[in-house]
Amino acid sequence: MRFLLIEDNQALANAVIDRLCLDGHIVDHSSDLETAWDFTSTAEYDLILLDIMLPDGDGRTFLKKHRNAKSRTPVIVLTARSEVSDRVGILDLGADDYMIKPIDYSELEARCRAVLRRQTGQARNAINFGEVEFDSLAGSLKIKDKRVKLRTKELRLFEVFINSPDQIFPKSQLLDRLFPYEVEASENAIEVYVGRLRKHLSGSNVSITTVRGLGYKLEIL
Amino acid sequence: MRYLILSIVIFAFATSAKAFEIEDRAVFGEMKDGPVLRIISTADINYFTPMIDAFRRFRSDVVIEYTVASSTEIMRAVYDEKQPFDIAISSAMDLQTKLANDGLARKHSSSLTQNLPDWAVWNDMVYAFTQEPAGFVISNKILEGLQTPQNRQQLINTLRQNPEIFRDRVGTYDIRKSGAGYLFATQDARVSDTYWRLTEVMGTLRPKLYCCASEMIQDVIDGNLAIAYNVLASYAEKSPHSDKFTIILPSDFSIVMLRTLLIPVSSENPQLAAEFLDFVLSETYPSGVSPLLKTRSLEDATENTLYRIALGPGLLVYLDNFKKKNFISEWESAILQD
Amino acid sequence: MTHPNVRGSIRQRLLVMLLLSAAGIAILLYAVVQSVAKQVVQESQDNILAASALSILDSARVIQGEISIDLPYSSLSMLDSVIDERAFYSVRLNDEFLSGYEDLPRIANLSDVTEFQSASYLGEGIRVASTRRSFTTVDGQVYLEISVAQTLTGLNKSITRISQISLAIGFGFFVLSVLAAVVIARSTTKPLHLLTRSVSRRGPSDLRPVAAPVPTEMAPLVVSLNNLMKRLQNSLSRSEDFIAEAAHRLRTPMAIVRTQAEVTLMRIEKEENRQAIREMIRAIDETSRTAGQLLDHAMVSFRTDSLMKETIKLDELIVDAVHRVSPISELRDVEIELQTLDKVVLAGDPILIQNAVQNVLDNAIKYTDADTTITVSLVRGTEFAEISICDRGSGFEKNEIIHLLKRFERGKNASGVVGSGLGLTIVDEIMRAHDGTVSLQNNKGHGACVILSFPL
């Protein structure tokens, strides 16, 4: 996906960009409203991540202008301010959702997906890999006209694999990508989810293979 | 005192040290310890006995002492000597009024007195209990064949046209001697000046002047008088010889005298006096049961020819020295023409 | 809601003052009417007395050098025409008594004008009119003096009647004044009531100055009120700004560290290092969550202290909150099921109540077992509306239920779950501010229920 990150703290911005790129996203960054406005008028974004406190104004003015311009690009506000006092105003001004810093990236992904799912008329964002057509927004796999609905964790896991086919992912890394850090989970859980995905993929030329001692990878047989 | 040399009649008693004179006295009931009601009155004992008896039927314990005196003597007894009378009854309306006006009568008011007609009460002190009109008393024998005069004008004409009949045979009060005569004369003169013409006509006939009504009536009965003027009808009616004369209440106007009673301030038994007063009024007023309030002649008279003498300070005017002197001298010049 | 220190009432004070002055005026009216009427009555009596005295004087003439008086009947009868009245007179030539009542009080130094005096005679009060005229007789110039007097029965009767009438007038005036005073007092305090109503009708965040027209006398009050509201608004926004600023200062660096740590975690292979960074991320999460809740708590305390209520549709608020947490619950494969959802409208601070519901939902998602369903329901009873949020976790330990609502207490089963222990405290404070309660229950066998109960 293509993100526009509007964030004036350079260090935080760099970190976020790095983190999103690891998931295979493309991120444009602007540290003020004026640049952000230039970006939105020249490029199409799937999602805008907007900070509220900016050097040349309040993020809310951008929101207002953005909505007035009838742009359909969803906006998720990243705020460090108090949730209580700001959230009503933010949602009323047309933000699709908001998150409080520091950001839990698995939650961000979940919220992005929820927001995008709510968008109607958006062209399907389907990826074809081998005989498998993957729709991340719908959370479904299509194999030879047979559509399978994935559960959240299965979807998330498949997303990790399909964003980097043929790359070997160690179990521990998958664990970190799949579960929030606050939850203590064992590597067995990964084996369970991998088992479920393999079941869905059976009958196609795509499979998750075990690279002994290293981890798993997605490949076309 | 060269302005005024008067034979002071009225106020003379004011300086008199003499005790008042009585004419008669009667006591009803036995003088014991019971309450005594003392009445002083101008009316004869006989005249008032029925009323007293009626009262004593209710209050047999009350002893009533009834004293008869002339109106001037009543004045002396009550006004000057402050004799302890409980009731004063008099036909002299002017003197009764003066007693009340000068503060010698006690005020009395009851549910009974409040319902009396206005003319019958003055100042809650003087109460009228009779109406007695004055009229002509005409000898039936002497005036036989003549048309009976019905009013003063007719009387004047009759007198003028028949001097031979009436010379020396016309009688009226000597107003210098009779209080009642003076009262009638002044009221007559007040209402109409026919009075003065009548007096003048009478003056030409050498009239006889009387002190008292009874004597006048007697002379009519005896044939000494053809006509007596201004005689109380109530007196005449009671005469045993009433067939000898005719009483005429003048149709122009009849002076009506009110006999009154009052409670002197010197009363020693005012409560009993008030009780008696209420009793008399209750006997006389409601539907005219009592013979005292109505006379036979009144029954024929029409109300609008009756001229009741008004109780009140107006009567004091004729008690005034000057007034009296003037009136009498005028009267004298009319009636004494010889 | 604190009750103001009430002493007295403008309306009552106004009413009392109006009534007192009305009573004063009524008494004055009574006195004036009576005295004027008395004067009029006295004058009419004097006129009659004067007419009487003059009529006597007129009847006097000099005949052959001597004074003669012919007292007219009407001179005394006129004194008695309406009401029985005792009458007295005296006639004097110079100082010599001629006729009438010799001891009738005289007026000293009589001039040619008729004069009057009140006196007492024969035990009763009287009014005397005296007049005189000069005559020329054989003795030369003499004065004939006439006094006429009358008792006061009629006068006193008239005065009694007038007293009654003036009393009635005074009383009538007072009664009308009472009615007027009530109306006036009501209309005077009306602008105050209007102002009160317009201020109390306002929404919680409406701190605009009062713009409605008010009478001059109330202008200073409105100015002070407007100033107060301005200061309140300033202090409100300052407090919120402070909390927002503090949050920003805390969270931004933590966000950097966390993100960097996560990026690092993905790049390193060595399991021991990974474990260390995982611990670090977890610690950061816990710290930032605690900071967030502390700030939330400060905000909640601030808002509950000056609670501003508006109408809330509780059912819609719950739907919104569930919607908001659904991405997180999905992340854990936890379903949230909305069961009974009665329509409930109540007055409260929507931000606070939203915060409370969200806190409970966050807890439920956090503590429930994976692949379970959280049930949410809103039931409207006769006296209470109850929000129940039940999870399928391990539930509360029975003896710690009371302590859980205290600051920084965490359940014994919370080990391994990031949390500050402030969540339920915040919920409890919010509920108390709304006269409601939080109760914690264990589901039979498995899971816990948090019940938020609002009075209706």
Residue C251 has pLDDT above 90, yes or no: no
The arithmetic mean of pLDDT across residues C68-90, rounded, is 89
Q: In which domain, by residue range, is C411 found? A: 309-456
Give burial (CB, 10 Å; 0-12/13-18/19+) of C348.
Answer: buried
**A176: chain C residues, CB-CB within 8 Å:** 262, 265-266, 274, 278
Same domain, B170 and B291: no
Which structural domains are found in chain A, ordered by start? 2-118 (3.40.50.2300), 150-220 (1.10.10.10)
Domain that residue B59 falls in:
11-131+258-295
Q: Is B114 inside a domain boundary?
A: yes
Q: For residue C68, give the chain B residue with the closest CA.
A: B322
B159-168 burial code (b ≥16 CB/10 A, e <16): beeeeebbee
* Single residue among C277, C306, C335 that ends a domain in this structure: C306
Whether C302 and C252 share a structural domain: yes
**Residue B274 lies inside a defined structural domain of this protein:** yes
A81: nearest CA partner in chain C: C244
- The CATH number that applies at residue C281 is 1.10.287
The answer to the question of residue C273 being in a domain is yes
DSSP string, C273-337: HHHHHHHHHHHHHHHHHHHHHHHHHHHHHHHHHT---EEEEHHHHHHHHHHHHHHHHHHTT-EEE
Identify the residue among C71, C81, C102, C152 best suited for mutation to test binding to B, counting B beta carbons within 10 A and taking the highest.
Answer: C71
- The pLDDT tens digits for B145-185 are 888 999 999 999 999 999 999 999 999 999 998 888 999 99
CB contact under 8 A, B313 and C79: yes
Q: How far apart are CA B34 and CA B51, in angstroms?
A: 20
Q: What is the pLDDT of residue B315?
A: 93
Give the helix/strand (H/E) hosting C50.
helix C10-58
**Interface residues from chain B to C (CB-CB < 8 Å):** 2-4, 100-103, 121-124, 190, 310, 312-314, 316-318, 320-323, 326
Q: Residue C192 pLDDT more than 60?
A: yes
CB atoms B312 and C77 under 8 Å: yes
Domains in chain B: how many in total?
Answer: 2
pLDDT band at C203 (very low <50, low <70, confident <90, very high): low
Residue B21 tokens, joined? 């004179």
In-domain check, residue B198: yes
The answer to the question of residue C139 being in a domain is yes
CB contact, 8 Å: C269 with chain A? Answer: yes
Those residues whose C-beta lies under 8 Å from the C-beta of residue A65, and which sit 6 or more positions away, are: A37
Element (H, E) at B229: strand B227-232
CB pairs A-C closer than 8 Å: 128
Q: Which of C66, C80, C122 sits opposite B3 (nearest CB)?
A: C66
Is A92 touching C (CB cutoff 8 A)?
no
Together in a domain, B204 and B329:
yes
* Mutation target among A82, A109, A168 for the C interface, most CBs of C within 10 A: A82
pLDDT above 80: residue C365: yes
pLDDT, residue B1, reads 34
Of C135, C160, C185, the last residue of a domain is C160
Neighbours of A149 (CB within 10 A): 11
Q: How many CB pairs under 8 A join B and C?
A: 70
C258 and A102: CB-CB below 8 Å? yes
Q: At residue B5, does pLDDT exceed 50?
A: no
Phi, psi of B39 (to 5 degrees): -115, 135
Q: What is the pLDDT of residue B187?
A: 94
Instruction: Please indicate, yes or no, whether residues C25 and C123 belong to a single structural domain of this protein.
Output: yes
Residues of chain C with C-beta less than 8 angstroms from the C-beta of B123:
84-86, 153
CA distance A199 to chain C (A): 19
Residue B328 counted as domain residue: yes
The beta strand positions in A82-131, using DSSP E, are: 97-100, 126-129
Mode of pairing for the β-strands spanning B170-173 and B121-122: unpaired
> Which residues of A are less than 8 Å from C284 in CB distance?
102
| Interface residue A114 vs chain C (CB under 8 A) | yes
* Most confident residue range from B91-95, C33-37, C204-208: B91-95
Q: Please check whether residue B76 is in contact with residue B95, taking contact to mean a CB–CB distance below 8 angstroms.
A: no
**CATH code of the domain in which B273 resides:** 3.40.190.10
Measure the CA angle with vertex B84, ends B80 and B88; round to 5°: 80
Enumerate the residues of chain A whose CB falls inside 8 A of the CB of residue C282: 181-182
Cβ distance A176 to C254 less than 8 Å, yes or no, reads no
Higher-confidence residue of C310 and B297: namely C310
C292-329: per-residue pLDDT in tens?
777 777 777 777 777 778 889 999 999 988 988 888 88
Same domain, C330 and C455: yes
% pLDDT > 90, chain C: 22
Task: Express each pLDDT in C369-402 by its tens digit.
Answer: 878 889 999 999 898 999 999 988 877 776 666 6
Q: Environment class of residue A76 by beta-carbon count within 10 Å: exposed (0-12), middle (13-18) or buried (19+)?
A: buried
Question: Are B193 and B276 in the same domain?
Answer: no
Contacts of B116 in chain C (CB under 8 A): none
Confidence label for B4 from pLDDT (cuts 50, 70 and 90)? very low
Whether C132 maps to a domain, the answer reads yes
**pLDDT attached to residue A182:** 64
pLDDT given at position B295? 58
With CA atoms as reference, report the closest residue to C129 among C225, C56, C210: C56
Provide the shortest C-alpha distance from residue A11 to chain C (in Å).
7
- Cα-based angle B178, B179, B183 (whole degrees, multiple of 5): 120
Q: Are C80 and B121 an interchain contact pair (Cβ–Cβ within 8 Å)?
A: no
Domains identified in chain C, total number: 3
Report the CATH number at residue C450. 3.30.565.10
C148 touches chain B (CB under 8 A): no
Nearest residue in chain C measured CA to CA from A54: C248
Q: Which residue of A has its CA nearest to C356?
A: A84
pLDDT of C127 reads 94
Examine the domain organization and report whether B178 and B211 are in the same domain: yes
Neighbours of chain A (3+ CB pairs under 8 A): C
A110, pLDDT greater than 90: no
**CA C361 – CA C373 distance, rounded (Å):** 12
CB contact at 8 A, B172 and B270:
no
Q: Is residue C213 domain-shared with residue C277, that is, in the same domain?
A: yes
What is the identity of the amino acid at C230? K
- With b for 16 or more beta-carbon neighbours within 10 A and e for fewer, the C29-44 pattern comes to bbeebbeebbeebbee
Rounded CA-CA distance C195/C218 in Å is: 10
Chains A and B are touching, with contact defined as 3 or more CB–CB pairs separated by less than 8 Å = no
Is residue C50 scored above 90 in pLDDT? Answer: yes
Please indicate, yes or no, whether residues B283 and B327 belong to a single structural domain of this protein.
Answer: no
Name the residue facing C271 among A19, A113, A172 (closest C-beta). A172
For residue C52, what is the nearest residue in chain B, using CA coordinates?
A: B314
> Does residue C4 form part of some domain?
no
Helix orientation angle between C350-367 and C314-331, rounded to the nearest 10 degrees: 30
Q: Would the CB atoms of B322 and C122 count as touching at under 8 Å?
A: no
Q: Given B100, B121, B317, which is nearest C73 (Cβ)?
A: B317
Within this chain, do residues C237 and C365 fall inside the same structural domain, yes or no? no
- List, as ranges, residues 96-125 from C with C-beta within 8 Å of B: 98-101, 122-124
Which 271-310 residues of chain C touch chain A by CB within 8 A? Answer: 271, 274, 278, 281-282, 284-286, 288, 292, 295-296, 299-300, 303
Closest CA to C358 of A59, A100, A89, A103: A100
**Is the same domain home to B16 and B156?**
no
User: Is the per-residue pLDDT at B89 higher than 80?
Assistant: yes
Determine, yes or no, domain membership for B305: no
Minimum-distance CB partner of B122 among C71, C84, C93: C84
Predicted pLDDT at C313: 92
Under an 8 A CB cutoff, do C87 and B313 touch?
Answer: yes
Predicted pLDDT of residue B160: 93
Contact B71, B92 (CB under 8 A): yes
B327 shares its domain with B206: yes
Inform me whether the C-beta atom of residue A19 falls under 8 Å from chain C C-beta atoms.
yes
Chain B interface mutation, best of C58, C73, C144, highest count of B Cβ atoms under 10 Å: C73
Question: Are residues C277 and C379 both part of a single domain?
Answer: no
Residue A199: which residues within 8 A CB-CB, separation 6 or more? Answer: none
Domain presence at residue B110: yes
The reply to whether C294 and C283 lie within a common domain is yes
Task: Let me know whether C141 and C245 are in one domain.
Answer: no
pLDDT in tens, C396-453: 776 666 666 665 555 555 554 555 567 888 888 889 888 898 888 887 767 888 999 9
User: Is residue B324 included in any domain, yes or no?
Assistant: yes
Q: Do C36 and C144 lie in a common domain?
A: yes
Same domain, C338 and C425: yes
Is the pLDDT at B46 greater than 80, yes or no?
A: yes
Residues B67, B139 within the same domain: no
**Sign of the C-alpha dihedral, residues B158, B163, B169, B172?**
positive
The whole-number pLDDT of residue B299 equals 65
Render pLDDT for A135-190 as a digit per residue (tens, 0 to 9).
Answer: 877 788 888 888 888 887 888 888 888 878 888 888 888 887 777 666 667 788 88
Would you put residue A203 in left (φ > 0), alpha (ψ -120 to 50) or beta? Answer: left
Residue B242 has pLDDT above 90, yes or no: no
Rounded to an integer, the average pLDDT of B244-255 is 91
- The CA distance from C299 to C307, in Å, is 12
Q: Which chains have 3+ CB pairs within 8 A of B?
A: C
N-term to C-term CA, chain B: 30
In a domain, C81, yes or no: yes
Q: Are B237 and B262 part of one and the same domain?
A: no
Same domain, C320 and C456: yes
- pLDDT of C74 above 80: yes
Give pLDDT, residue B68: 93
Task: Name every residue whose Cβ is closer than 8 Å to that of residue C163 and which is 6 or more positions away in sequence.
Answer: C34
Model ipTM over 0.95: no
Contact A82/C240, CB-based, under 8 Å?
yes
d(CA A176, CA C276): 13
Would residue C335 count as lying in a domain?
yes
Residue B282 lies in a domain: yes
Last residue of a domain, one of C306, C323, C347: C306
Touching status, chains A and C (3+ beta-carbon pairs under 8 Å): yes
Q: What's the first-to-final CA gap in chain A, in angstroms?
A: 27
Using one digit for the tens of pLDDT, what is the confidence trace for A23-81? 778 899 999 888 888 888 888 888 899 988 788 888 888 888 888 888 888 899 888 76
Which range is least confidently modeled, C64-68, C325-329, C364-368, C395-399? C395-399
Asked whether residue C166 is assigned to any structural domain, the reply reads: no
By residue count, chain B amounts to 338
Backbone angles phi, psi at C406, to 5 degrees: -85, 160
Are C356 and C426 contacting, i.e. CB atoms less than 8 angstroms apart? Answer: yes
The answer on pLDDT for A105 being more than 90 is no
B243 and B262 housed in the same domain = no
- CA distance to A66, A130, A143, A146, per residue, from A203 (Å): 46, 12, 8, 11
Residue B48 sits in the same domain as residue B185: no
Q: Are C129 and C121 in contact (CB under 8 A)?
A: no
Asked whether the beta carbons of residue C278 and residue A81 sit closer than 8 angstroms, the reply is no
- Give chain C positions within 8 Å (CB) of B124: 84
Q: What percent of chain C has pLDDT over 70?
A: 93
Residue with the bigger pLDDT between B169 and C366: it is B169
- The band of B2, judged by pLDDT with boundaries at 50, 70 and 90, is very low
Same domain for C296 and C316, yes or no, is no
Q: Do residue B121 and residue B167 come from a single domain?
A: no
Query: For position C325, what pLDDT does the model report?
Result: 87
pLDDT of residue B291: 43
Can you tell me the distance from the alpha carbon of C364 to that of C357, in angstroms, rounded to the nearest whole number? 11
